[in-house]
C-alpha cells in the first residue's frame, strides 16, 4: 500500500551482508535447503529492520501454526481431524524451528495437504455424477471458523456433497428463473427441471477441473511463500514476503505500467487464453490479437522452435511472453474462428490508464467546478521523473483552472496508497509551505517531511472525498489538509487506519554468494507516520468532517479489524501554520447535515448497509429449492425496494476534461467508451452530488473566494 525509500536502510543492509554470510550460510543447493535459507534470512532481516521486532517464542509459534493451517485450508475442505492431531505436535516448536532454520512443520503440512487435495480430486466426480434432490429438507452451515474438521474421508465426502449441492442449487435457481421467463417464447427451447439440474452439475464439473488444474500447477515454492507469510505477518499485517513473480506484480501496481505485449491472460482447460486487450499496448495498437484467442506456443525469434505452453503454469507461460521494450516475441495463436497463425509482436511499455489520475468539469446554472479522481499514488521508483501521481495531479489542476473553476473535489475513495514523495508534493499544491507528515523510524529516529515550495497551485475551495478503503498515503494527504484547515473531508466515519510505512528489501542484496537463484523480496514495516498535529492515523484513520451513510457502515473494515496491527500512539506536533480559515464552514456543514438527514436516498443506503450486515451474519443456508427460493425472493424483494438508489441523477452537468486525453487521436477514440462510462457514474454518484452542494455553499462566500490568511489570525503550533 505504501512505500518509501530510505538511504539509512540501504546502508544498514550492506553492513548486515558480511555478518550474515559468515555466520549463517551452511546449506547445500537443493530446494528444501533454499527454503531453510529463506527462513533464516527473513527472520534475520525482520529482527534487524522491523519497526517493532517480535519475540519468537511459544506464543509466536501458536500464532504461526494457526495462521498457516487457516491459510492453506480456511474452509476445512481438505484436512482431517487426524491431520490436525499430527500437526499439533509442532504447535509449540515452530519458534524453535525458525531459530534453527528447520522446516519440518511445513514439510509435514505440505505433504499431507497434497495427499488430501488429490483425494478430493479423486472423488468429486463421483459426487457430481448423482443428480441432486432439491426437495429434501437439509441445510449447510458456512460458519467455517467454528466448524469441526472431518473425522475421515467419508465424512469429508459428505461435506463436499453439501457444498457442491449448494453451488448446484444456486445455478439451478438462476437457470430455472430464466427458463420460466422464456416459457412464453415459442422459439425458445424449454428445459425440464432435470435438464436444468444436470446443466448446473456440468458447470460445477468444469469449474472444479480448472480449480484442480490450478492447484496441480502450484509448486513447492508457492506453498512455502504462504508459510513464510504466516511467519512475517505476525510482526504486522503489512509485512509480507514476495516471491519473484509477486514482487513484479507489486511493482506494476505501484507504477501503473509494465513492459510486455499489452494483454491479460488466463488459463482454462489447459489453454492460455486472451482475457483482455490493454488499451495503448502493442497488441491493441496494431490490432494483433483478440479476446478469446488462444496462445499455443511462444518463440523469441523467427528461427527458434516455438515452445508449447499449455502444460506450463500460467506464470511460466507469461514469463516467456513478456519482455523488455523493443524486443520481439512470436506467438502461435489459435483464433476464435479456429485458424492457426504465428503473430510477431514488438514489446513495449504498457501503461494501465485505469490507475492514473483523471478529471471532470462540473457545471451548474452559473459556475464551473472540477473533480479529480486519483486511484492510487503511483510512481516509478527507478525514475521519479517519469509519469507519477504528483505530476499528473498538477497537470489536472492547471487544466481545470484554465476552465475557470470555482471549487475543486479531490476523490480519494478506494485509494489504497502508494508513494510517500508524491503525497508530500501533492499536499504542497494546496499549502504555501511547511511540514506535511512526521515519520518515526526504527530506533526512535524522527523526521519531518516538508513542502518547501511556497507556490500554491490551488488556493480555492477544496473538498476531499474518502471512504473506509482510503488508506495510507490517502490518509496522509487528507490528514495534512485537514490539519492545515485547508479542506473539508467528506466520507465514512473514518478512513482505513493504516499509519505505517513499508520498504521493500531485495533479499538477494542481503547475502553474497547466493547459488539458489532469485530469493524474492521482503516488504517490511520500518516506520510509522504521524500527522503534523502529532496524532497517528494508525487504527483511528482520518475522521471525516462530514459523515455519509454507506453500504459498508456496519461491516468491520479497516486496520483495527486485522490481525497483529501496530498500536496507536502520538508524538509532539510539528510547527505549522494553520491560520488558513475555511469561511462559511459551520453553515456549510450544517446545511449538508440537513440535506443528508432529509434525503431519502441516504436513508435507503443505510437500510442497504443493514441488509448487507444481516446477510453476512447469516451462515446457515437451506438446500431445498422451495426454502432457498423463498429466501432468495425475500432478499430480492428487500433489495428491489432499495433499487430506487439507482434512479438517482444529479442535477449537475459533468464533462470529461480534455486535459485527460492522450495526444494520440486514435487513442482518444478508443478511450471514449471508458470515459463516457466514468462520466455516467459521476452523474449517478450521490456522494459526489453532496460534495458539490457543499462546495457551492463554501464558494458562495465572498472574501478572497473562501480563504483568509491575515497575519492577525496566524497560529503557530509548537
Q: What is the pLDDT of residue 703?
A: 41
Q: Hey, what CATH topology would domain 353-567+576-711 get?
A: 2-enoyl-CoA Hydratase; Chain A, domain 1 (3.90.226)
Q: How many CB atoms lie within 10 A of CB 281?
A: 23
Q: Is the dihedral of CA 247, 252, 255, 261 positive or negative?
A: positive
The model's pLDDT over 253-267, given as tens digits with 9 standing for 90+, comes to 666 677 888 888 887
Task: Quote the percentage of the chain above a pLDDT of 70.
Answer: 89
- SS3 of 374-437: CCCECCCCCCCCCCCHHHHHHHHHHHHHCCCCCCEEEECCCCCCEEHHHHHHHHHCCCCCEEEE
87, three cell numbers: 500437526
Domain with CATH 2.30.42.10 in the chain: 257-351
The model's pLDDT over 352-410, given as tens digits with 9 standing for 90+, comes to 777 889 999 999 988 999 999 999 999 876 666 778 999 999 999 999 999 999 999 99
37 contact partners, CB below 8 Å, separation of at least 6: 25, 27, 101, 516, 519
d(CA 420, CA 451): 12
Residues 662 and 668: beta-carbon distance below 8 Å:
yes
Least Cα distance to 439 among 578, 565, 542, 571 occurs for: 571
d(CA 238, CA 232): 9
Residues 272 and 295: beta-carbon distance below 8 Å:
yes
d(CA 77, CA 119): 11
Q: Is the dihedral of CA 415, 416, 422, 423 positive or negative?
A: positive
Q: What is the pLDDT of residue 244?
A: 84
Q: How many CB atoms lie within 10 A of CB 109?
A: 23
Helix runs in 131-219, H state only: 153-181, 193-217
The model's pLDDT over 50-97, given as tens digits with 9 standing for 90+, comes to 999 999 999 999 999 999 999 999 999 999 999 999 999 999 999 999
Domain with CATH 3.90.226.10 in the chain: 353-567+576-711
What mean pLDDT do residues 613-636 have?
85
Least Cα distance to 474 among 412, 429, 532, 555 occurs for: 412
Least Cα distance to 483 among 440, 445, 451 occurs for: 451
Q: Indicate whether this model's pTM tops 0.85.
A: no
Please say whether the structural domain 257-351 has been given the CATH code 2.30.42.10.
Answer: yes
Least Cα distance to 344 among 310, 293, 301 occurs for: 301
Is 50 exceeded by the pLDDT of residue 637?
yes
201, three cell numbers: 452439475
Q: What is the pLDDT of residue 180?
A: 74
Q: What is the pLDDT of residue 210?
A: 83
204 contact partners, CB below 8 Å, separation of at least 6: 128, 164, 167, 168, 171
Q: What is the pLDDT of residue 437?
A: 97
Flag the least confident range among 141-150, 228-237, 526-535.
141-150
d(CA 257, CA 376): 13
d(CA 696, CA 656): 20
d(CA 279, CA 562): 36
What does DSSP say about strands 328-334 and 340-346: parallel, antiparallel, or unpaired?
antiparallel
183, three cell numbers: 416459457
What does DSSP say about strands 434-441 and 521-530: parallel, antiparallel, or unpaired?
antiparallel
Amino acid at each position: 500500500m505504501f512505500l518509501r525509500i530510505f538511504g539509512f536502510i540501504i546502508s544498514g543492509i550492506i553492513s548486515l551482508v558480511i555478518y550474515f554470510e559468515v555466520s549463517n550460510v551452511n546449506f547445500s543447493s537443493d530446494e528444501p535447503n533454499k527454503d531453510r535459507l529463506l527462513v533464516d534470512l527473513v527472520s534475520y532481516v525482520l529482527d534487524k529492520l522491523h519497526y517493532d521486532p517480535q519475540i519468537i517464542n511459544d506464543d509466536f509459534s501458536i500464532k504461526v501454526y494457526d495462521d498457516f493451517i487457516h491459510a492453506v485450508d480456511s474452509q476445512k475442505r481438505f484436512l482431517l481431524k487426524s491431520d490436525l492431531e499430527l500437526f499439533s505436535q509442532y504447535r509449540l516448536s515452530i519458534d524453535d524451528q525458525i531459530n534453527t532454520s528447520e522446516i519440518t512443520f511445513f514439510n509435514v503440512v505440505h505433504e499431507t495437504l497434497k495427499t488430501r487435495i488429490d483425494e478430493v480430486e479423486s472423488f468429486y466426480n463421483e459426487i457430481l455424477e448423482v443428480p441432486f434432490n432439491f426437495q429434501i429438507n437439509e441445510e449447510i452451515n458456512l460458519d467455517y471458523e467454528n466448524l469441526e474438521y472431518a473425522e475421515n474421508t467419508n465424512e469429508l465426502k459428505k461435506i463436499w456433497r453439501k457444498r457442491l449441492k449448494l453451488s448446484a442449487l444456486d445455478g439451478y435457481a438462476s437457470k430455472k428463473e430464466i427458463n420460466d421467463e422464456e416459457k412464453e417464447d415459442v422459439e425458445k427451447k424449454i428445459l425440464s427441471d432435470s435438464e436444468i439440474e444436470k446443466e448446473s452439475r456440468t458447470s460445477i464439473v468444469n469449474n472444479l477441473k480448472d480449480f484442480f488444474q490450478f492447484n496441480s500447477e502450484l509448486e513447492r515454492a508457492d506453498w512455502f511463500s504462504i508459510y513464510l507469510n504466516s511467519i512475517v505477518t505476525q510482526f504486522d499485517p503489512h509485512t509480507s514476503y514476495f516471491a519473484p513473480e509477486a514482487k513484479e506484480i507489486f511493482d506494476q501496481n505501484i507504477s501503473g505500467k509494465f513492459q510486455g505485449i499489452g494483454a491479460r491472460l488466463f488459463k482454462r482447460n489447459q489453454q492460455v487464453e486472451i482475457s483482455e486487450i490493454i488499451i495503448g499496448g502493442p497488441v491493441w495498437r496494431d490490432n494483433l490479437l483478440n479476446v478469446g484467442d488462444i496462445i499455443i506456443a511462444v518463440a523469441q525469434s523467427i528461427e527458434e522452435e516455438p515452445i508449447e505452453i499449455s502444460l506450463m503454469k500460467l506464470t511460466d507461460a507469461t514469463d516467456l511472453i513478456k519482455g523488455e521494450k523493443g524486443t520481439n516475441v512470436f506467438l502461435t495463436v489459435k483464433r476464435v474462428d479456429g485458424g492457426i497463425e504465428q503473430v510477431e509482436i514488438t514489446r513495449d511499455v504498457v501503461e494501465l490508464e485505469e490507475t492514473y489520475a483523471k478529471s471532470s468539469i462540473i457545471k451548474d446554472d452559473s459556475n464551473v467546478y472540477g473533480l479529480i479522481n486519483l486511484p492510487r499514488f503511483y510512481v516509478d521508483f527507478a525514475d521519479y521523473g517519469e509519469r507519477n501521481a504528483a505530476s499528473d495531479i498538477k497537470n489536472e489542476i492547471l487544466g481545470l483552472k484554465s476552465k475557470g473553476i470555482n471549487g475543486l473535489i479531490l476523490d480519494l475513495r478506494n485509494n489504497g496508497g502508494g508513494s510517500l514523495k508524491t503525497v508530500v508534493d501533492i499536499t504542497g499544491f494546496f499549502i504555501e509551505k511547511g511540514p506535511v507528515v512526521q515519520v518515526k523510524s526504527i530506533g526512535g529516529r524522527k523526521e519531518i517531511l516538508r513542502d518547501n515550495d511556497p507556490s500554491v497551485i490551488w488556493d480555492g475551495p477544496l473538498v476531499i472525498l474518502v471512504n473506509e478503503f482510503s488508506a495510507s498515503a490517502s490518509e496522509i494527504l487528507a490528514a495534512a489538509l485537514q490539519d492545515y484547515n485547508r479542506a473539508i473531508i467528506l466520507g465514512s466515519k473514518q478512513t482505513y487506519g493504516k499509519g505505517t510505512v513499508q520498504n521493500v528489501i531485495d533479499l538477494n542484496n542481503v547475502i553474497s554468494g547466493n547459488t539458489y537463484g532469485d530469493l524474492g523480496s521482503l516488504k517490511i514495516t520500518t516506520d510509522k507516520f504521524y500527522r503534523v498535529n502529532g496524532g497517528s492515523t494508525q487504527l483511528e484513520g482520518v475522521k471525516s468532517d462530514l459523515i455519509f451513510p454507506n453500504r459498508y457502515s456496519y461491516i468491520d473494515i479497516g486496520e483495527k479489524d486485522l490481525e497483529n496491527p501496530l498500536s496507536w500512539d502520538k508524538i509532539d506536533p510539528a510547527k505549522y501554520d494553520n491560520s488558513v480559515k475555511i469561511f462559511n464552514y459551520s453553515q456549510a456543514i450544517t446545511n449538508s447535515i440537513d440535506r443528508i438527514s432529509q434525503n431519502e436516498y441516504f436513508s435507503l443506503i443505510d437500510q442497504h448497509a443493514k441488509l448487507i450486515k444481516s446477510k453476512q451474519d447469516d451462515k446457515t443456508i437451506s438446500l431445498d429449492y422451495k426454502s432457498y427460493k423463498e429466501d432468495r425472493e425475500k432478499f430480492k424483494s428487500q433489495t428491489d425496494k432499495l433499487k430506487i438508489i439507482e434512479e438517482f441523477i444529479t442535477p449537475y452537468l459533468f464533462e470529461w476534461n480534455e486535459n485527460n486525453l492522450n495526444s494520440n487521436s486514435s487513442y482518444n477514440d478508443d478511450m471514449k467508451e471508458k470515459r463516457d462510462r466514468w462520466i455516467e457514474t459521476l452523474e449517478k454518484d450521490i456522494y459526489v452530488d453532496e460534495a458539490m452542494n457543499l462546495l457551492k455553499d463554501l464558494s458562495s462566500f465572498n472574501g478572497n473566494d473562501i480563504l483568509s490568511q491575515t497575519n492577525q489570525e496566524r497560529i503557530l503550533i509548537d
